[in-house]
Amino acid sequence: MSQKVLLDVDPGCDDAVMLAMALAAPDIDVVGLTTVAGNTTVDNTTRNALAILELLDAADVPVARGAGQPIVGELDTAEEIHGPNGIRGDLPDPSTEPVDQHAVDFTIDRARELGDDLTILAVGPMTNLATALVKEPDLPSLVDDIYLMGGSASGIGNKTATAEANFHNDAVAAKRVVRSARPRMVGLDATNRATVPLDDLDELLSSPPPLDAFGAWLDYPEEVRQFGEGSDPAVHDAAVVAHVLDDVLAFEPAHLDVEVGEGPFHGAVACDRRDEVGKEPNAEVAVDIDVEGFRALVDRTIERLRG
């Protein structure tokens, strides 16, 4: 039986790689996408999501537009990393429109409909998910698992010295989610090692669609590759789907909280894995990744896209 997944995304190049992996895998059933502002505006992330689905012959997957601003603070986009309008590569014009339902309500309805057959993967700012938890506090008990791509248990960030970009962009939402959702947090501690060698990049970029776009999604600027290992880019969001496919991540229980103040630790994660504060774990934290297993799944996706 295929694992049913709902993907909360802000495409974004690593989101696009993740979507390609999920859609190409026969044992994953993508029941919908919800979009959020993050890597770029929600107008762009919604259009990018529709265009990626069009490119990958999956335009029947419903897309629900979500939050355009963080709960508190100003949106801080990343077009300098992901490209104009939030994504690189040639994408077709979408032939479909978003569904006539907000992402929050779409998420709650899918959770009530599918129950513990559903896994939620949130890989952008946590605004939609936090709002869904306000409207439906039982959401975590309705579904199988809730995964987050965000945070840094080590306290070493990529947006600031201490904060990962998704948690930094909406720290209030991230705080609500780690406190209420009992999530599996896949942060930089694992995803900085979710790297893809670029040996075949030129071949991908010169291939017919959709492989040329897939290559463009991996072709991060040189200054961004420092967050991976060596010169290979880290494809953070893709690590989450890779684990759903093949258990490539190792998790440990921890008690988490998120700093929401406006100082230098805004969006930083306080992670207690040693029971220093005397509170029960409220999450599982990814502490390691099978790099070769992850890369094998990326290679398998490329072969499936090659046809």
Is the pLDDT confidence value at 220 over 90? no
Domain ranges of the chain: 3-78+94-194+235-306
Q: Measuring CA to CA, which residue among 162, 190, 81, 75 is closest to residue 125?
A: 75
Which is the catalytic residue, given 236, 243, 255, 266?
Answer: 236
Q: Scan for tokens 């440990």, then name that residue.
A: 252
**Which tens digits make up the pLDDT trace of 147-158?**
999 999 999 999
Asked if residue 275 has pLDDT above 90, the reply is no
Q: Note if 236 is an active site residue.
A: yes
Residue 243 in tokens = 């684990």
* pLDDT surpasses 70 at 225: no
- Whether the per-residue pLDDT at 276 is higher than 90: the answer is no
For the stretch 178-213, pLDDT in tens is 999 999 999 999 999 999 998 889 999 999 999 999
- The SS3 of residue 80 is helix
pLDDT tens digits for 38-85?
999 999 999 999 999 999 999 999 999 999 999 999 999 999 999 999
Going from the C-alpha of 186 to that of each of 30, 51, 137, 182, 205, the distances in angstroms are 20, 26, 22, 13, 29
pLDDT in tens, 78-111: 999 999 999 999 999 999 999 999 999 999 999 9
Residues pairing with 65 in the sheet: 35
Q: How confident is the model at residue 273 (pLDDT cuts 50, 70, 90)?
A: confident
pLDDT at residue 227 is higher than 70: no
pTM, rounded to two decimals: 0.96
- Determine the average pLDDT of the residues in 168-186: 97
The CATH number, out of the four listed (3.90.245.10, 1.10.490.10, 3.30.70.60, 3.30.1490.190), of the domain defined by the range 3-78+94-194+235-306:
3.90.245.10
SS3 142: helix
- Give dist(CA 281, CA 179) in Å, integer: 10
What per-residue string of b and e applies to 1-31 under the rule 16 or more CB within 10 Å gives b? Answer: eebbbbbbbbbbbbbbbbbbbbbbbeebbbb
